[in-house]
Chain A
Amino acid sequence: VQLVESGGGLVQPGGSLRLSCAASGFTFSRHWMSWVRQAPGKGLEWVANINQDGSEKYYVDSVKGRFTISRDNAKNSLYLQMNSLRAEDTAVYYCARVAITMVRGVIITSLDYWGQGNLVTVSS
């Protein structure tokens, strides 16, 4: 399993950026996927989830209306379109695969594979 992010960089406040995550080594179309970020010196923050066919999407409140998660199963790729960027969006952004496991009769989700991360810096 390999997840490789790209598209990060320096952007001015109010600007836009699109992150990509190229997946390989597994059947991409069978998995939910996530974006998680980590601001410098801070902890992990979940950003968004998308289901297998892209029909269900969930976001943390702080990015709703500004970020859009999407995927292209034909290209084995996950995306995060980030608009109206703010200084507080500065972080390393990770894509992660969602594992769905049945444990003691209950369906449990976890993030079992992560990309190496991509730095997004929002600054003037």
Chain B
Amino acid sequence: DIQMTQSPSSLSASVGDRVTITCRASQSISSYLNWYQEKPGTAPKLLIYAASSLQSGVPSRFSGSGSGTDFTLAISSLQPEDFATYYCQQSYSTPLTFGGGTKVEIK
């Protein structure tokens, strides 16, 4: 199974800050990497697919990069609605696996 490791597990930031979250795969997964946002009591929402493609309707302040084993999710200017937990997920092979999550909290 491919292990996905996210860092940090949590971070505190202020509105307007640039935030970056990293995700590392235990083996190369090319660009088979997706990012999701989850808010308490709501279903996860797809933000980025194929490592860097923005899902329709997602604000352009979100961006993704990377390939192989190392990936990054960036939020260029954090907004109040962005405080949430973010997960990476590999779709290279089954079992599909998620990272442990990064909780973005208000500073």
Contacts and interface: CB of A to CB of B under 8 A. Distances in A.
B98 A43 contact: yes
The 10 closest A-B pairs by CB, nearest first: A114-B43, A46-B96, A103-B50, A110-B49, A108-B50, A44-B98, A110-B34, A109-B91, A60-B95, A58-B94
B30 interface: yes
A61 B42 CA distance: 27
B99 A108 contact: no
B89 A108 contact: no
Interface in A67-124: 94, 99, 101, 103-104, 106, 108-112, 114-117
Interface string A18-57: 0000000000000000101000000111100100000000
A44 B57 CA distance: 23
22 contacts: A43-B87, A43-B99, A44-B36, A44-B38, A46-B89, A46-B96, A49-B94, A61-B95, A94-B43, A99-B46, A99-B49, A101-B49, A101-B50, A101-B53, A103-B49, A108-B53, A111-B46, A112-B46, A114-B43, A114-B44, A116-B42, A117-B43
